[in-house]
Amino acid sequence: MEKAIEILKKNNYKVTKQRTDLIDYLSKFTVQYVAINDIVNYMRSLYPGMSNNTIYRNLKEFSDIGLVEYQEKNKTLVKYQCDFDHRHHHHFVCKNCGKVTELKACPIEFFTDQLPGYTVEGHAIEVYGLCADCTKKLKA
């Protein structure tokens, strides 16, 4: 929470009660994604008059400054940043339980080496399968 507040201030965003409540809720989702609808429902339970626009705008701003990450294949899922010091990273996502594991290596050079003369402007990599726990349960 302290790091998130620091990032908000550094990026000239006001630290409001609504934003701190949103960050507090999102901080429970560092190893799995949460549906934006669940976030909306939670925030509306605290602030009944809060508009969708306000919630979506805050999530977008949080994404822009690195507080949250959207799932690449599904922009309706979001999770709290798992590594504030290394915003550029990739994930393994368990298709069974939804657990997200940060991948430390970035294979972009493998791809750019195959594209001489090309200009790569960005990339996102998510690997899908079953986590070790789910694999173990499946084999049991």
Let me know if domain 90-139 sits in CATH 3.30.1490.190: yes
pLDDT in tens, 48-59: 999 999 999 999
The predicted structure's pLDDT at residue 47: 97
For residue 137, pLDDT beyond 80:
yes
pLDDT in tens, 94-103: 888 888 888 8
Detail the DSSP E strand segments found in the chain: 34-35, 68-71, 74-80, 90-94, 100-103, 126-129
Fold that domain 2-80 belongs to in CATH:
Arc Repressor Mutant, subunit A (1.10.10)
For residue 83, pLDDT beyond 70:
no
For residue 18, pLDDT beyond 80:
yes
Mean pLDDT of 43-67: 94
**Alpha carbon distance 118, 12 (integer Å):** 36
The verdict on whether residue 131 carries a ligand-binding annotation is yes
**Alpha carbon distance 124, 72 (integer Å):** 7
Query: Where in the chain is CATH 1.10.10.10?
Result: 2-80
Q: State the angle between helix axes of 2-10 and 17-26 in degrees (0 to 180), rounded to the nearest 10.
A: 130
The verdict on whether residue 97 carries a ligand-binding annotation is yes
The verdict on whether residue 134 carries a ligand-binding annotation is yes
> What spatial distance separates the first Cα and last Cα of the chain, rounded to whole Å?
39
Query: Where in the chain is CATH 3.30.1490.190?
Result: 90-139
